[in-house]
A = this chain, B = another copy of it.
Amino acid sequence: MRKPESSPSIPAPGEGKRGEEGYLGYLLRQAAGAHRLKVDRALADLGVTQPQFVTLTMLAAYPGLSNADLARLALLTPQTLSVIVTNLERAGSLLRKPHAVHGRIQHIELSATGQALLRQCRDRVHAIESELTAGLSAPEERAVRRWLVGVATADTTEA
């Protein structure tokens, strides 16, 4: 079927407002969505989502974090992380050690299967990751990184 030509002059994904002249926020949203989808599809057969991969990676680097710790680390709310952790626990990828010497805090660690799963995911994600830097010069990549960190850490309470 041919496209019914609903409207004229709709820009293609790289042109006009959808290209380098568009709103930065719009471009940021699109880029992040495209990347998330790419990662999700690369890990789909392992049953792992991008947020789950991030959480597994954080737990591998810092075993014993609490739900609240993870949320702070990922810049997400504790409620959000709780959903992700619950799903990972149901899949057997991590363990909650409910006790902890002090507190009602639950320490979370990767299970053996979780560690194996993470190893499987890593190669695929790294491959996608390396595509991200293709076409960037060293100073450009530095500028991009600095900008991303700035956007992520810009406090909500400021101007």
| Chain A residues with a Cβ under 8 A of chain B | 4, 6-7, 10, 13-14, 17-39, 41, 50, 54, 61-66, 69, 73-76, 102-103, 105, 107, 125, 128-129, 131-133, 135-136, 140-154, 156, 159
Contact = CB atoms under 8 A, between A and B. Distances in A.
A156 B125 CA distance: 14
A73 B12 CA distance: 7
Contact of A143 (B30, B63, B132, B144): B144
A113 B128 CA distance: 43
Given A128-B25, A153-B14, A143 B143 contact: yes
A101 to B, nearest CB: 9
A36 B31 contact: no
A13 B145 contact: no
A69 B12 CA distance: 11
Given A13-B153, A14-B153, 14 more contacts: A7-B62, A10-B65, A20-B142, A24-B129, A24-B144, A26-B54, A28-B132, A28-B148, A31-B148, A32-B33, A38-B154, A38-B156, A132-B151, A135-B150
A6 B75 contact: no
